[in-house]
Each structure stands twice: as structure tokens, then as C-alpha cells.
Amino acid sequence: MSSTSSTTKITLKTLEAIKRKAERFACVTAYDATFAEIASSAGVEVLLVGDSLGMVVQGHDSTLPVTMDHILYHLDTVRRGNRGALIMGDMPFMSYYSEGLTLENAGQIMRAGAHVVKLEGGRWIAESTRLLVERGIPVCAHMGLTPQSINRFGGFRVQGRDPDQAQTILDEALFLEEAGASLLLLEAIPAPLAQRITERLHIPVIGIGAGKHVDGQIMVMHDLLGITPPDIKVPKFVKNFLAESQTGIRGAFEAFVKAVKDGSFPGPEHSY
């Protein structure tokens, strides 16, 4: 049975309760009404309107060309198809570099249908996090591999393998929780580090390429369905759930939710 329906509304309190019970929740990206309906009806608790749309929808080689108008358009369509999931909206590249811009853009994202805004970065986004939380806007901090910083990283590389860098990521995660972040997303970091962070933080931690010992797992919808654009290298942490589905796309989403909740995904082969 799906855990999300038109009569069950997932909130941050729902995710916090899942963490307290040491259970897991499922998240996927969504960019339109049809897939938002399928995913949320299949039991996905969190839908992310991510700037990943720049690569999987628009055909760019990074997320950097995505604008506020793009995010707002896709948020509006996802909102209309959603059946009770919590919706998270990405703050795109350079949309939160000043106090005024941060407030204006986050406000637009919330008005378009998001329940949480997501910001990429470490300690430097703490002030933006405090600013938004004080105005009643929940924040998900995105750490580890942050695609908006791809040029600084020199490509899509695993973060936190060096002991000093791992300690920095842990310290900054704690700092962002103290600043008021409601959620933390960890991307492409070693599983043992993600486990340490998850155990230390009181807020729910979502992972993508961060091992199984986090509170929630997120996948890009196109990766989950095995339709990653051919010019994009499929990351290690991806699994094609459509390949095993007997009931098509809806079954693939249901299989992803089940695998996340029973702990069978991600396996060691999907982790660093």
C-alpha cells in the first residue's frame, strides 16, 4: 500500500518522526504533473524540483544554466500533480548571493508550491539559512558534491575521502543544523562519513551516493527509470528500477520506495 495519498500530507514533522523511529523515507526529482502524481501516489514522501532539470530536461552539461523562471515553471506543474508529498524547490545558481535576492527568490519558490527550499553549500550558507528560517521558510542544506560548484571541484568527484575534508563536512553539517536547517542532503560522500553525520544530527539526512545509513534516499527520476541522457555518465549510486518492474513506470517508483524502506537500496555496489 502506498504511504502517500491524496488524504495523507507529508510534512517536515512526518520526516522527523521517521528519523526518530529509525525508519527511512524515499525522495525523487520531479519536473511535471504526470510524474509528480505517479511518484507521490507510489509512496514517495519528497519530490524535489531540482536544477538537475538543466541536464535531464534541457540538455545542458551542468545545472548552471537553470534560472529562477525554469524552477518556478516546473514547481507549478509538479504542485498540480502532487498527491500529498512534501515538495522541495532548488535555489538555482547565483540566486542567493545577497540577502535581498535570497529572500525574494525563496519567497517566489514557496509561492509556486514548495514547502522547503534547497541551498547548496557549507558554512557559507549559514547566514542565508538563518535569514530564511527567521522568515518562516524551511531550508534543506545540500553538502558534499554540490553540482553548482562543479567548476571549483573540477568535475563530479566524491567529496570527504580525505580525513580533514571529512571532518570539515561533519563540522559544517552541525553548524548548518544549528543555523536552523530542517533537512540535510549529502551527495557523493563515503558511506561511513554519511553515517557519522546522520547519527550526530537531529534533523533528517537525505543521501544520494552516500550509503544506506541515512534517513532518506533520493534519486533523479530519469536515473531511476533508466533513461539518463546518453551523454551523461551514469553515477555509481544509480539503479534502474524500471528494468525489474512488472507494472511499468508506476511499478518502478513503487519498487524504489520499497527498496529504500526495507534497506535493500542502496547496496554496497552503489556506495563509496
Averaged pLDDT of the chain = 93
- Structure-block grid coordinates of residue 220: 533523479
At 53, the amino acid letter reads L
pLDDT digit string, tens, across residues 6-47: 458 999 999 999 999 999 999 999 999 999 999 999 999 999
Known active-site residue 99: no
- Structure-block grid coordinates of residue 185: 542532503
Query: Do residues 84 and 73 make contact, with C-beta atoms less than 8 angstroms apart?
Result: no
Dihedral sign, CA of 258, 259, 263, 264?
Answer: positive
pLDDT digit string, tens, across residues 181-223: 999 999 999 999 999 999 999 999 999 999 999 999 999 999 9
- Structure-block grid coordinates of residue 1: 500500500
Which residue in 35, 44, 49, 46 sits closest to 259, CA to CA?
A: 44
Query: Do residues 132 and 139 make contact, with C-beta atoms less than 8 angstroms apart?
Result: yes
| Position 124 pLDDT exceeds 60 | yes
Query: Do residues 174 and 129 make contact, with C-beta atoms less than 8 angstroms apart?
Result: no
Which of these ranges, 68-77, 132-141, 225-234, 239-248, has the smallest mean pLDDT?
A: 225-234
Burial of 117 (0-12, 13-18, 19+ CB in 10 A): buried
| Position 156 pLDDT exceeds 80 | no
pTM of the model: 0.93
Residues 6+ apart with CB under 8 A from 116: 12, 86, 87, 88, 89, 138, 139, 140, 182, 183
Query: Do residues 24 and 260 make contact, with C-beta atoms less than 8 angstroms apart?
Result: yes
Residues 6+ apart with CB under 8 A from 22: none
Give the three-class secondary structure for 11: coil
pLDDT digit string, tens, across residues 245-258: 999 999 999 999 99
Catalytic residue among 178, 187, 199, 254: 187
Q: CA-to-CA distance for 7 and 9, rounded, in angstroms?
A: 6
User: HEC string of 160-217?
Assistant: CCCHHHHHHHHHHHHHHHHHCCCEEEEECCCHHHHHHHHHHCCCCEEEECCCCCCCEE
Q: How confident is the model at residue 92 (pLDDT cuts 50, 70, 90)?
A: very high
Burial pattern 35-65, b for ≥16 Cβ within 10 A else e, equals bbbbbbbbbbbbbbbbbbbbbbbeeeeebbe
Domains along the sequence of the chain with CATH? 12-270 (3.20.20.60)
Which residue in 106, 52, 117, 113 sits closest to 84, CA to CA?
A: 113
- Structure-block grid coordinates of residue 80: 498540480
Give the three-class secondary structure for 43: coil
> Which position has the grid cell 550526530?
200
Ramachandran category for residue 79: left, alpha or beta (phi over 0 → left; psi -120 to 50 → alpha): alpha
Q: How confident is the model at residue 49 (pLDDT cuts 50, 70, 90)?
A: very high
